[in-house]
Amino acid sequence: MAPTDRSRHREAGTMRVGISGLGRWGKKLVDAFSRHAEVVVCCSGGGLANREWLAATHPSAAWVNAFDAMAAEPLIDAVAIASPTHLHEVQAAGALRCGKHVFVEKPLATNAQAAVNLMRSAEVRGLRLQVGHTFLFDREIERITRETALDPVVTAKFEWHKSGPFTEPLLWALLPHDVALAMSLYRRAPEAVRVRGAVADACCDKARVDLDFGSGAQATLAYDRRSPVVEKRVEVLTVSGRRHRWRSRPMSPPALDNAVVSFIEAVSAGRDPLVSHGAFAVQVVKVLDRIGTASLDGLRG
Ligand SMILES: NC(=O)c1ccc[n+]([C@@H]2O[C@H](COP(=O)([O-])OP(=O)(O)OC[C@H]3O[C@@H](n4cnc5c(N)ncnc54)[C@H](OP(=O)(O)O)[C@@H]3O)[C@@H](O)[C@H]2O)c1
């Protein structure tokens, strides 16, 4: 059934979405959006296994092989993007040009100018843009962020252990999450960055990044993608001496659902998303750009 045959099934007020990418994370997005909206159509690279997964688990969603055809579909209000990172920029821009609200996985783009262009494109069109910095929507992280509003963070340690193999560099795969978390906890961008490790190289599995937020406030980000144990840890020390500790094994589905609901609420209310909106995501990409440059400088030096 073509997407345009589906209009009669629409419940009043239900957002209708097209989803790009049906890989490991795209499937989670399809599941999450299906719980809160109507997934009308998906597109992917054409791999049979992922198409079969869609047909078996979400038979009412159509599949098309071209992103542009999906973005132009008049029935959908929004596009969610979980295609490979290098496609985020062009696909988000295409969806905005078609008048669709955009939920795009992290990172928003892989250079600061492209990120700024996307933010402006959404602004001039009056469309909503939210980026999938999913940990920001974890309820426990939200609590720590709230409680550190009046008791500011002095030091924060982020540790991430994963087990490979991996094809994306740490810079675009894992750092967007922790840079977003650190900026959200410190409520500003870092003044300086220091890098140990070739974070922009897909072969690099171990690295450490220090973010200096000024006035003695520091965040340390440590990665090990060869760890037999899969775990993410965050430890925060505040001005009053209070310690907040958070740890998670793989990302909990509720955080993704919270992110999807936040996006849908922003679209319904006609306002920017409260968390992880375009302007915030631009700041994250700017910091990632600086980290990438610092890493290259370190390798040359
Ligand atoms: N927020 C989070 O916590 C989180 C976690 C993991 C990943 N992510 C992000 O999600 C994105 C996808 O990661 P992943 O791990 O799911 O990757 P993946 O498993 O490699 O899946 C990529 C998907 O994109 C599809 N694809 C390839 N070319 C395409 C095109 N031109 N248009 C549309 N789809 C296309 C692939 O098609 P086939 O089906 O043909 O292979 C596949 O379905 C990345 O940007 C990553 O940063 C976010």
How many Å apart are CA 119 and CA 101, to the nearest integer? 12
CA of 138 to the centre of ligand 1 (A): 22
- pLDDT given for residue 8 in this prediction: 39
Distance from residue 164's CA to the centre of ligand 1 (Å): 16
Alpha-carbon distance of 248 to 257, in angstroms, equals 16
Cβ-based neighbour number of residue 121 at 10 Å: 18
Candidates 71, 76, 73, 77; CA nearest to 90 is: 71
The kind and range of the H/E element at 17 are strand 16-20
Q: Distance from the CA of 87 to the center of ligand 1, in angstroms? A: 9
- CA 21 – ligand 1 centroid, Å: 5
Rounded to whole angstroms, what are the CA distances from 89 to 110, 160, 227, 269?
8, 26, 31, 25
| Residue 84 contacts residue 105 (beta carbons within 8 Å) | no
Output the CA–CA distances (angstroms, integers) from residue 83 to 5, 178, 279, 296, in the order listed.
26, 21, 21, 26
Distance 190 CA to ligand 1 centre (A): 29
The residue whose CA has the least distance to atom 22 of ligand 1 is 23
Of 179, 141, 160, 175, the residue nearest 255 (C-alpha): 141
211 backbone dihedrals φ, ψ, rounded to 5°: -115, 125
Residue owning the nearest CA to atom 4 of ligand 1: 25
pLDDT of residue 251: 55
Backbone angles phi, psi at 219, to 5 degrees: -125, 140
Alpha carbon nearest to ligand 1 atom 27, residue: 45
Ligand 1 atom nearest the C-alpha of 43 is: 33
The Å distance, Cα 41 to ligand 1 centre, comes to: 16
Q: Are 81 and 95 in contact (CB under 8 A)?
A: yes
What is the best residue among 19, 20, 29, 44 to mutate for testing ligand 1's pocket, by most ligand atoms within 8 Å of CB?
44
- All structural domains of the chain, each given as residue ranges with its CATH number in brackets, are 3-135+255-276 (3.40.50.720), 136-249+286-300 (3.30.360.10)
- Give the number of other CB atoms < 10 A from CB of residue 59: 9
How is the chain split among helix, strand and coil, in percent rounded to 5? 45, 25, 30
Contact 248, 231 (CB under 8 A): yes
Using a 10 angstrom Cβ sphere, with 0-12 exposed, 13-18 middle and 19 or more buried, the burial of residue 271 is: exposed
pLDDT tens for the chain, 301 residues long, are: 444 444 434 455 799 999 999 999 999 999 999 999 999 999 999 999 999 999 999 999 999 999 999 999 999 999 999 999 999 999 999 999 999 999 999 999 999 999 999 999 999 999 999 999 999 999 999 999 999 999 999 999 999 998 877 899 999 999 999 999 999 999 999 999 999 999 999 999 999 999 999 999 999 999 999 998 889 999 999 999 999 999 986 555 699 999 999 999 999 999 999 999 999 999 999 999 999 999 987 766 6
Ligand 1 surroundings by CB, under 6 angstroms: 20-26, 43-47, 50, 67, 82-85, 87, 105-106, 132, 134, 173, 251
Tell which residue, 161, 146, 170, 126, has the closest CA to residue 234: 161
Ligand 1: nearest atom to the Cα of 47? 40
Beta bridge partners of 153: 238
Report which protein residue has its CA nearest ligand 1's atom 3.
134
Pick the atom of ligand 1 nearest to 22's CA: 43
Which residue is it, tokens 């340390």?
Answer: 220
Q: Whose CA is nearest to atom 10 of ligand 1?
A: 82
Query: What is the biggest distance separating any 2 CA atoms in the chain, rounded to whole angstroms?
Result: 63
